[in-house]
Amino acid sequence: MSRDQKFSRLLQHLEKCSQSIMYYDEIAATVQRIRQTPEKQTFKNNSVIQIRIPEFQLTPSRRLRSEINIDTLSCQSIIPDEILKDQNDKEEHRQLQLEKKREQAQSSRTNETEQRRQNRLEKKREQTRSSRMNETEEQHRNRLEKVRERTRSRRMNETEEQHQNRLEKDRHRIHSSQMNDTEEQRQNRLEKKREQTRSSRMNETEEQRQNRLEQQRKRSQANREKKKIEKRASHNISTQQQNIQMRFTETEEHESYNNSGTSDLIPNENIIMKNRNPTSSSWPEPISRDLKENCLKEFLHQMSMSSLAETTCAVCNSRTSVQKSKSVPLSKITVIESLKVSDETKALIMNTQLSNLHYINHDTVTTVNSDGIQTIDDAQ
């Protein structure tokens, strides 16, 4: 058998054995190394060149060993199949055991009490915390990668209802955690969020940036439309309430004005305008025409002579509004003496006038009354 035939036979056996899982990497590397032409580096004229290494025929002893090795490899190619079958049986047995354990755990969790559940969760959290503290950096990255992959797969397979429920739970959890945060925790959270936003924006591509800006514009437009609708609805409610209040006030004023006459001046407290407190401010919306006309009518009514007319009270001698006064004929007053000035009041007035006397000269007497008005009389 020539050298080339032996070499081809060896390659065939190696390729056949490379189909086994256990020796695949090692045999593939050996085949790749055998297929390469032996070369080495040398220098010629101060430059590196590659030269071939001559190969010689094997000695009889080495040729015999090569044939023995080829037969050994052909025998060993059968062994990995049995090992692979044994491994498959072990893996199947392991999967059955894991499935059985999962069923037992699910059954025990269904029948456990609340106290046991809390203890189990606390123990699991403690184990997780301990394992995370002792894991290496590579294990940490692998765990996070697995968590992200599992989360991504679960979100891709969830329904629309599950998606909405998950978002609602996330919002509720975030809101609850933010409500319980202290001021320092809040500042740290905001600072961390700003840092994450800054980092993500620095690392994003141009396409991601355009998508983010487009989504931001859509959200802003939707928020503006929502605020406009709410503001328009609030303004309509406020305008309706104001119109109803104005109609009610005008009706009361009209009735009270018709019931009061010139000879019978009855005080009417309902004429005073009630405070109008709208539910929400409509500024800077333009003022409606109805509101302007109602305000003008109210102003003209308040500035009319019937509203501004005053009269003197017969009891206290003070000026008061005609609409707030009450006219009573003298014939209906049973105790007329109560309207006369008593002697004590007259004496008090005289004493006050005498105390206002400041100086007297030989020609005139100058006095200052209680109202601050000076009077000059002859001293005769």
Residue showing tokens 């950096």: 137
Please check the confidence at residue 110 and state whether its pLDDT lies above 60: yes
Whether 267 and 199 share a structural domain:
yes
Lowest mean pLDDT segment, chosen from 54-58, 95-99, 169-173, 265-269:
265-269
Averaged pLDDT, 16-36: 61
| H-type alpha helices, 260-268 | none
pLDDT surpasses 60 at 306: yes
In the predicted structure, residue 205 carries a pLDDT above the cut 80: yes
Same-domain check for residues 208 and 81:
no
Tell me, yes or no, whether 307 lies in a domain: yes
Instruction: Please determine, for residue 349, whether its predicted confidence score (pLDDT) is greater than 60.
Output: yes
Same domain, 323 and 344: no
User: Which position has the higher pLDDT, 289 or 9?
Assistant: 289
Rounded CA-CA distance 280/273 in Å is: 20
Residue 351, domain member (yes or no): yes
Q: In what helix (H) or strand (E) does residue 260 lie, and over which residues does it extend? A: none
* Residue 17 in this model has a pLDDT that exceeds 80: no
**Confidence (pLDDT) at 104:** 87
The encoded tokens of residue 87 equal: 């491994």
Q: Is the distance from CB of 158 to CB of 166 less than 8 angstroms?
A: yes
Length of the chain: 380
- What pLDDT band is residue 369 in, cutting at 50, 70 and 90? very low
pTM over 0.75: no
162 domain residue, yes or no? no
**Mean pLDDT across the chain, nearest whole number?**
74
Whether 96 has a pLDDT exceeding 70, the answer reads yes
pLDDT at 33: 64
Q: Specify whether 215 is located in the same domain as 322.
A: yes
The reply to whether 262 and 374 lie within a common domain is: no
Q: Does 372 score more than 60 pLDDT?
A: no
When pLDDT is cut at 50, 70 and 90, the band that residue 270 belongs to is: very low
Would residue 47 count as lying in a domain? no
Question: Greatest CA span in the chain, whole angstroms?
Answer: 176
Report how far apart, in Å, the C-alpha atoms of 339 and of each of 312, 344, 347 are.
14, 14, 17
Q: Is residue 296 part of a domain?
A: yes
Q: Is residue 249 part of a domain?
A: yes
Report the pLDDT value the prediction gives residue 262, as an integer from 0 to 100: 41
CA separation (Å) from 102 to 97, 105, 126, 149, 193?
9, 5, 21, 22, 39
Which has more confidence, 227 or 280?
227
* 308 and 229 belong to one structural domain: yes
Q: Are 364 and 376 in contact (CB under 8 A)?
A: yes
Report CA-CA distances (Å) from 120 to 98, 107, 108, 115, 127: 19, 14, 11, 9, 11
Counted domains in the chain? 3
Written as six digits, the tokens of 110 are 């269904």
Token digits of residue 143: 């765990």
pLDDT of residue 274: 45
d(CA 50, CA 45): 13
Range of the domain at 27: 3-36+59-86
Whether residue 50 contacts residue 36, with contact meaning beta carbons closer than 8 Å, is answered with no
pLDDT digits (tens, 9 = 90+) for 126-143: 988 888 888 899 988 999
Please tell me the predicted confidence (pLDDT) of residue 278: 44
pLDDT band at 265 (very low <50, low <70, confident <90, very high): very low
Q: Are residues 312 and 199 in the same domain?
A: yes
The whole-number average pLDDT for the span 273-285 is 52
Residue 100 inside a domain? The answer is: no
Say whether pLDDT at 263 is over 60: no
